[in-house]
Structure formats: structure tokens, C-alpha cells
Homo-oligomer: A and B are copies of this chain.
């Protein structure tokens, strides 16, 4: 166990903060609730961006950029949206500072008050749909498939790095369609892209489902969500894709001339994932030794360490291995820093979650072998120098698979059915995890359960089976189980 990291069993929350800090992912900043994303954390975000951006491109989307600021009045245009987003936000009221006539500092210049306050975007539906009004006249202008990589601000009371910060980075897609069907299909397709990404790249399994009316995005008709189970038995909403109906088109008066020459309101979707994914990545795989990263998203995939220090024979083996790995596009580093001992380096790269470590020692070389350690299971084995490259390449694949399987197993073991409220509560208190249970379909019941247990309906799973049952709280009839959990 790494000395600096609080074990999960002692304090899960502190464990998370320790990992974020000790692995060099993020730091607190001087601004309340805003984090500094450090180079290592940003490199992971860069990889996430790269993969998702090419998926969006492959499916016909293009990137654009809309203003950071939203006029206050825009937020009021869509009735539900204003409820959801116009509360805790950063409000720009002035556009100038001046020297304080009574002291050395700066004060806000009262003469530079804005006529209308500007809100730092918490999400961009309003500013984007006010623009789409100018871009859309006829069905020929549709669909409009636009994505934006941006920063957003939500004035959160309790913040935690990556999981909930005042400012965060994300992508937000905003599409416009001529028909309801096409918009729904778009929202679903993105939902699929998100789920495929989290499973195949992050090795983080997710439950795909739709949100209840109460948990829906403010202004959406349907919210598709992916929910991942963290190691403390809480659910993380990892990405959402919204079918917005015609709500924003109505609010911003965006209509088009359809093929039958009739004016019609435009159909919309929006969807996003954020730097929160990094929080999910950390909490899905990491252990008490530090960060564990799936090879496909690890900024550094393989580290080679000379034991105890570089020499010509070791260098030769290391360089051959590096060449072989680089040829396959694998990122590899040969750490020849002589100021640090091998043991120190081992701990450091374990902390940083580098998937594979190859230690090349003089004595091993004489036996024609090197020591290969995998970060996920922390197993080590001696591997013949012949075939070392292909061993490492295969091992990376195996680690990627293993992390997903392990996370799937964890989720399976921590998804339980509850058929009455006592069982429901005791599972929540003693085990956590996902609880599959019947619910009568009303917001009232949902809120009551939340009040009593702090558990929320994470989603109505897409693969929900029809099953007659009774609501765990009210006993009223239910036609299928929904997924409850405490959530981040």
C-alpha cells in the first residue's frame, strides 16, 4: 500500500482526493470550486477528446464555437430550462475595474454596469438556438449537426475535482432536425456512442437507460443516460443525450419550410460528456496503490526501467523494445534518470497508473529475460527477451479486457433486486450498489424515496423487462423495474 494514499476502506472520499493529487491529475486553485487540470490529467482528457471527436466526425458532426456569455433574458425563454439553470451561476454585471480612489487596490467601476447582465454559460442551448434562428430557413438547412468543445460554469456548493467543479470542460452537441423521429434517432445514436466509448475505451461498463421526468434535463422531453457504478457503490451519471422536442425551437422561434411548403418548428437534441468522465475513470479502476488506467487511455502505456541503472547491454534491450512498441503506436518511456532508485520509480509509476512496467536488470539479462509487471493485478513475471515486445503488446490488450471484466463483475455483484422497502433500505445502508425495484411511475413517490433514503432513480433501463410488480414504497402497480442508487 502506497504510504501517501488513504485506503478506500478507511475513507473512500479521501482516497479519491489522494489519488487525484498524488497521481498529478488536478490541483485546487485559488478560485473556489475551480480546479487546475494538471498536465497528466489533461493528457487523459486529450485522449478522451480525440476518440470522441472522431466518432462525432464519423457520424457527420462538425465543430463550432458559440459565445461564453448568455444574456440573462435568454435563460427565461424556455420555462423549464430557466428552473434548472438560472439559479447558481456566474453573473457578469460590470465591464471595467478602476483604481480605488481610497486605496491601492482595484474596485468595480460603477459607471461600467452592463445594461443586461451576462451569465457565464452553464450549458449553451439558449445562445445556440438564438443563433440557429438565423441559420435555418428550409428543410435544406437540416439536419444541423454541431458540436462544441468548451468550458462551462455552474456555481456548485460542494465541489470535488472532476466529479463536480464550478468550471468544467466538456463537449456539447446541439442538433436540429426536420422530424421528431430523426431527432430521437440522433439522441439514441449519441447515447450509443457514449456507451461504446465508456465500455471500449474507459473499460467502464454502463447501464443505458432513460431518465424519469424528475431527473430529466431541464427543457428535455427525454434524457438518455449512461450510469456507471463506482467502487463505493454509488452511481455516476457519465453522459446524457437529450431529445428536446420542439421546446427550444418554440422558445427561440426557429421554424423551417418543410418539403410541403409549410412552416414547422424544428426538432432538437443536445448531448454532452465532461471532464467528469475522468472522475469515473479514477473511481472505476484505481486501488490503494494509486491510479489504474486502461491502456487505451493511458498517456504513458509502458515504462522501461533499467535496474539498477542504465548500461550499454540494458540500453540495447530497452531500445529494441521501444522501437517495437512505438512501431505499434504504443507510448513508451525509458526512464534513465539516475537520481532515483528503481524502487522509487516503481512506486511512482504505480501511482500514476502506467499499465505495464518492464524492469531490465543485469542479472536477468544474463538469463535472457526481463521482469514485466502489470498495474491492474500487480502481478510480475519473467519474460524471455525473445518475444518480449509481443508479450507486452498482448499484455496491454489483456489488461484492457481484464479491467472491463473486473468492473462488470463488480457491477454484477452489486446489482440487487429489492421487492419491499425494508429490503431496499437495508441494501442501501449495508451494501449500496444498484437496486432494481418496482416503482409506481409518479414523481411524488420518487421524491419521497429520495427524501427517505437519498437514493434516486438512476434510469429506466433500456433493457427493462416487462414484469408486473408492486411499487416498493406505495405498493401501487408497476410494469417493470427501474434502477435505484445513491449517486454522485
Contacts and interface: CB of A to CB of B under 8 A. Distances in A.
Nearest to A90: B92
A105 B70 contact: no
Given A63-B46, A89-B95, A91-B94, A68 B120 contact: yes
A402 interface: no
A364 to B, nearest CB: 30
CB-CB nearest 8 A-B residue pairs: A34-B67, A39-B62, A37-B65, A91-B94, A95-B155, A93-B93, A31-B67, A90-B92
A300 to B, nearest CB: 12
Contacts of A37: 64-66
Interface string A67-111: 111111111100000100011111111111110000011101000
Nearest to A134: B27
A256 to B, nearest CB: 16
A204 interface: no
Contacts of A119: 97
Interface in A7-47: 27, 29-31, 34-39, 41-43, 45-46
Contact of A93 (B75, B91, B130): B91
Contacts of A74: 30
Interface residues of A, number: 65
A30 B68 CA distance: 11
A69 B34 contact: yes
A127 interface: yes
Nearest to A37: B65
A277 to B, nearest CB: 15
A146 B39 contact: yes
Nearest to A73: B105
A376 to B, nearest CB: 25
Contacts of A29: 66-67, 127, 131
A16 to B, nearest CB: 20
A32 B454 CA distance: 44
A89 B97 contact: yes
Q: Quick one: which of A76, A106, A130, A155 has the most chain B CB within 10 A?
A: A106
A326 B37 CA distance: 37
A91 B89 contact: no
A167 interface: yes
Interface in A395-440: none
A55 interface: no
Given A73-B105, A86-B106, 9 more contacts: A30-B127, A34-B67, A34-B68, A37-B64, A39-B63, A69-B90, A87-B98, A93-B108, A97-B119
A95 B106 contact: no
A307 interface: no
A356 B62 CA distance: 22
A94 B93 contact: yes
B89 A96 contact: yes
A76 B104 contact: yes
Contact of A71 (B30, B104, B127, B131): B30
B91 A97 contact: yes
Contact of A64 (B39, B64, B117): B39
Nearest to A66: B36
A157 to B, nearest CB: 10
A11 B96 CA distance: 33
Contacts of A134: 27
B76 A106 contact: yes
Nearest to A61: B39
A153 B88 CA distance: 21
B120 A120 contact: yes
A161 to B, nearest CB: 12
A92 B95 contact: no
